[in-house]
Amino acid sequence: MDGLEWAVDRLWPRTLSRLTPWLMVLPAILLVGLLVLGLIQIADASLRTLDRSTFLMSDSWSDANYARALSDPVYAKILWRSLSGAVIVTAITLFFAFPYAYLMVRTPRAWLRKLLLIALFLPFFIGQVVRAYGWLIILGNQGIVNDMLGLVGVAPLRLLYNYPAVVFGLVQYMLPFAVLMLAPALTAIPEETEAAAGSLGANWGRTLVHVLLPMARPGLVGAGLVVMTLTLTDFAMPAILGGGSQDFIANAIYDQFFRTSDQGLGSALALMLVGLGSLIVGAIFMLFGAGTLAMGGRSK
């Protein structure tokens, strides 16, 4: 930042100094502008229908793609599966991420903190697809889990290619994100606060419910938002662990763009996904504030 200010001092005319803040945010504006341009193009495509005799998009606009997306039961089913999946994955992920993050920031043992950090960051070096394929090996009919079950006389179980398998894969994928979002919020809670609660007679459970969770709310909200939006838009886990019958919205969008070549319907579904995600995020902001995503600003 100092370097940037130094460069501005020398290169930016002093007469324009009141515009300096705008200069600082110019890269961000350009980035967002590019995204908006892309969205405008997608919006334009979503209003054009595909002529299957020429595979060209129509010259005129219509709401046919939106009407189809809203009236076809398969999209309602997929939408519901994506939404419920996002809620379930967020809840389970936060349930596991909280104790992990708490232990990581509170443990007095350096080796344990390092171990937890390594375990946290290791998955980031392995892509989502590779991790999903890893689960295919572990949970497959001839995988490690079924091998172990076989040792105690249990016949192979179908652990893959169903909704629970998708949720499981997503939780495992989202856990590091949630821990990373929660850790700063927990670090900001003074340990003395917990000690004070204990000295006033609160047991561990009451301290958790009445002290820790309320004070960690910004972190929980931030982590929840990140996990929920990432889950809502996920493609790989439903595709790989769902066995083709557990599609999320992103899979339906892919199908329209790349299987049926219907970019209009694909664009309509994509915009509806963006709209839905924005609505959810907006509703959470209104109800709970922006959490740690507010970057230190006051949360509600």
Partner 1 sequence: MTHSRPRRQLTRRSLLRSTAALGATAAILPSKIWAQEPEKPSELIVRAWGGSWVESLKAGVSDPFTEMTGIRIRHDLTEDNEIQPKIWAAAAQGRVPPIHINWDTTTNATKSALRGVTEDLSDLPNLANATELAKPVGFDGYPMVNTYGYVYVLAYRPEAFPDGPPASWRHLLDPKFKGRIALYNDGIGFHFPAQVAGGGTLADIPSNMTACWDFVEEMKAQEPLLGEDPDFTTWFQNGEIDAACTISTNAREARMNGVDIQWTVPEEGAKFDTDGMWIPVGLPENELYWAKQYINFALTQQAQQVWLDGLGLPGVVPGLTPPADLVDDASYPTQPEDFKNLIRISGQIQVENESEWFSKFKAIMQG
Site for partner 1 in 68-87 (CB under 8 A): 72-74, 77-78
Residue 149 binds to partner 1 (criterion: CB under 8 A): no
Q: For the stretch 266-281, what's the b/e string if a residue is b when 16 or more beta carbons lie within 10 angstroms of its beta carbon?
A: bbbbbbbbeebbeebb
Give the DSSP H or E segment for 225: helix 217-232
Stretch near partner 1 under the rule CB under 8 A, chosen from 108-116, 133-141, 191-199, 225-233: 133-141
Residue 38 binds to partner 1 (criterion: CB under 8 A): no
Compare residues 101 and 252 and give the one whose CB is closer to partner 1.
252
Site for partner 1 in 44-73 (CB under 8 A): 50, 52-56, 72-73
* 131 Cβ neighbours under 8 A, 6+ residues apart: 123, 169, 172, 173
Identify the residue among 106, 109, 158, 210 touching partner 1 (CB under 8 A).
158
Compare residues 83 and 188 and give the one whose CB is closer to partner 1.
83
Residue 125 binds to partner 1 (criterion: CB under 8 A): no
* 281 Cβ neighbours under 8 A, 6+ residues apart: 225, 229
Residue 155 binds to partner 1 (criterion: CB under 8 A): no
CA dihedral angle for residue 202, residue 207, residue 211, residue 213, rounded to 10 degrees: -160
- What is the x/- site pattern for partner 1, positions 257-276, by CB under 8 A? xxxxxxx-------------
Sign (positive/negative) of CA torsion 108, 112, 113, 114?
Answer: positive
Q: What are phi and psi of 188, to 5 degrees?
A: -75, -10
Binding site for partner 1 (CB under 8 A): 50, 52-56, 72-74, 77-78, 136, 140-142, 158, 160-161, 243-247, 255, 257-263
